[in-house]
Amino acid sequence: MADALSLPIAEIAVLLSDGKLKARALVEQAIANHERCGGKLMAYSQWAPEYARGCADDADAAFAVGARAGPLQGIPVSIKDLFAVCGFATYAGSPKRLPPQFEIEGPVIASLRRQLATVMGKTHMVEFAFGGTGHNAHYGSPYNPWDAKAHRSPGGSSSGAGVSLCEGSALLALGSDTAASVRLPAAMTGNAGLKITKERWSTAGIVPLSFTFDTPGILARSMADAAFSFAALDPLLGDSFAFLRRVPAGIGGMRIGIADSWFWDGCENGIDGVVRGAIDKLASAGAIVKDKPLPEAREAFAVFAEGGVSAIELRAFLDQELPGWLETIDPVNAPALKNTENLSARDYLRRRLRLVTAAKAAAARFDDVDVIATPTVMFSPHVLAKESSAEQFWARNRKIVHNLAPVNFLTLCAATLPVGLDRIGMPVGLQFIAKGGDDECLVAVACAAERVLGTPREILGIPPLCKG
């Protein structure tokens, strides 16, 4: 099949199961796509074409004897390099290989293994996932494929994940989201992203940034692909296909709240207009739209701006598990991690208590809406060379996670899907936020919205750096 990778994952899975498409042929297309880009986009820290071919051959062998291991059998997947994957070293974006205990697979990767998915390699990331710009002083930063001239941020910390989808070397990308790190790169590269409720998926086998907020997550080329992958991997759903059949065909009757001005004021390059236009289309298609403030987001972001809890929790992890690692930490991150020495236990616990209180109040905001809609990111992906100091880096980081970090800090779940291009031709994302635990409802609303608005390729086209 000439261009099977352009099809939705659900259709590809059927073709593979019916024997009309071979997993080996699919992976050869994925490899060719990566090679066509010449590796210039820097999606992967460990690119493994021969390993991927072996995975595909295993999937085909199982298909040949009538064995169906799961919905992701034979599907090309990229994996962020803080997941332990047998056969791969774990670096977590650092310059040194982590000890063997960080190469023991956890439940998420075990599920991929059981389903005989095709592992394409490990994607680049921000060191220890601590930062959202995609910057990595040790290895360099992946290129956002939407700008053919400047080296713009692909988003982070799952910086290579979205890029792997854009170049066509993967159909599903696994990342993690502690304050933005799935949704931010998804939005900045024109892909869909799903931040799952904390504790729904295990973080075992994943190098930690913050044990309080770390969450595995999904990036995919469309919300339909994200939903298919979520159904395949989620341990609570049982029958994944039954869940997909329950996803409504239309947006009619779904209740969408429009977030207050805190999420909108200051959007640059027409981002707010693009997102509002998308919401208007959903309203015209039958969605019930109303204003819905989420004032607790201000309190959550205030805690984040004060230093949050990730820095101190990462520092505790490094001190306990990787002594001496702080000596080689990225210079833009070193000051924040070293300054945690001045944070008292009382101040740390006070921050945690403020967030617990805010999260309880935020949960009640969803009593009369299914989701709350915001722009995913208020700012266009920036040129990476513009930040030359730690202060500039963290000022930029705070800006781009403004609408994202409160979701984690308020124990909510969220999805992003692309809805257009801004004035400089960069992707714009629409974020849907849902109550913690309402992941199935969130996915249903996001899928229904995509059916009204169009798929990313229909809306955005192909990134300039990925055109053949």
Quote the pLDDT of residue 388.
65
- Encode pLDDT of 279-322 as tens digits: 999 999 999 999 999 999 999 999 999 999 999 999 999 999 99
Quote the pLDDT of residue 244.
82
DSSP 42: -
DSSP 263: G
367, exposed or middle or buried, with CB in 10 Å at 0-12, 13-18, 19+? exposed
Quote the pLDDT of residue 83.
98
Q: Which pLDDT band, with edges at 50, 70 and 90, does 1 fall under?
A: low
Total domains in the fold of the chain: 1
Quote the pLDDT of residue 389.
74
- Under 8 Å between Cβ of 459 and 420: yes
148, exposed or middle or buried, with CB in 10 Å at 0-12, 13-18, 19+? exposed
Quote the pLDDT of residue 37.
81
Tell me: pLDDT of 272 over 70. yes
Please give the single-letter amino acid code of residue 150: A
265, exposed or middle or buried, with CB in 10 Å at 0-12, 13-18, 19+? exposed
Catalytic sites, residue numbers: 80, 157, 181
Tell me the Ramachandran region of residue 454: left when phi exceeds 0, alpha when psi lies from -120 to 50, beta otherwise: left
CA–CA distance, 169 with 43 (Å, rounded to integer): 9
- CA dist 133 to 63, 113, 130, 159, Å? 41, 31, 10, 8
Of 40-49, 222-231, 334-343, 434-443, which gets the smallest average pLDDT? 334-343
Radius of gyration of the chain (CA): 21
Look-up of token digits 């009204």: 452
Quote the pLDDT of residue 387.
63
> In 109-204, at which residue ranges do the beta strands (DSSP E only) sit?
118-123, 172-176, 192-195
CA–CA distance, 342 with 336 (Å, rounded to integer): 11
Tell me: pLDDT of 17 over 80. yes
- Under 8 Å between Cβ of 123 and 79: yes
- Under 8 Å between Cβ of 450 and 256: no
Percent of the chain having pLDDT more than 90? 91
**Mean pLDDT for the chain overall:** 95
Tell me: pLDDT of 395 over 70. yes
- Under 8 Å between Cβ of 352 and 360: no
The upper half-sphere exposure of residue 15, i.e. CA atoms within 13 Å in the direction of its Cβ, equals 19
Quote the pLDDT of residue 194.
98
Tell me: pLDDT of 137 over 70. yes
CB within 8 A of 63, min separation 6: which ones?
A: 16, 17, 19, 23, 73, 74
The answer to whether the predicted template modeling score (pTM) of the entire model surpasses 0.95 is yes
Tell me: pLDDT of 456 over 90. yes
Q: Read off the CATH number of the domain in which 176 is found.
A: 3.90.1300.10
- CA dist 184 to 65, 138, 268, 334, 429, Å? 41, 21, 16, 23, 9
- Encode pLDDT of 348-377 as tens digits: 999 999 999 999 999 999 999 999 999 999
- Encode pLDDT of 68-100 as tens digits: 999 999 999 999 999 999 999 999 999 999 999
Could you tell me which residue, 238 or 321, shows the higher pLDDT?
321
Quote the pLDDT of residue 243.
83
- Under 8 Å between Cβ of 85 and 105: yes
DSSP letters, 223-259, are HHHHHHHHHHH-TT-SSHHHHHHHS-SS-TT-EEEEP
Quote the pLDDT of residue 242.
81
CA–CA distance, 294 with 281 (Å, rounded to integer): 23
**Which tokens go with 118?**
């095709």
Containing domain of residue 441, as a range?
Answer: 4-466
Quote the pLDDT of residue 385.
81
**Average pLDDT for 155-182:** 98
CA–CA distance, 291 with 358 (Å, rounded to integer): 20
Quote the pLDDT of residue 2.
64
Q: Which pLDDT band, with edges at 50, 70 and 90, does 189 fall under?
A: very high
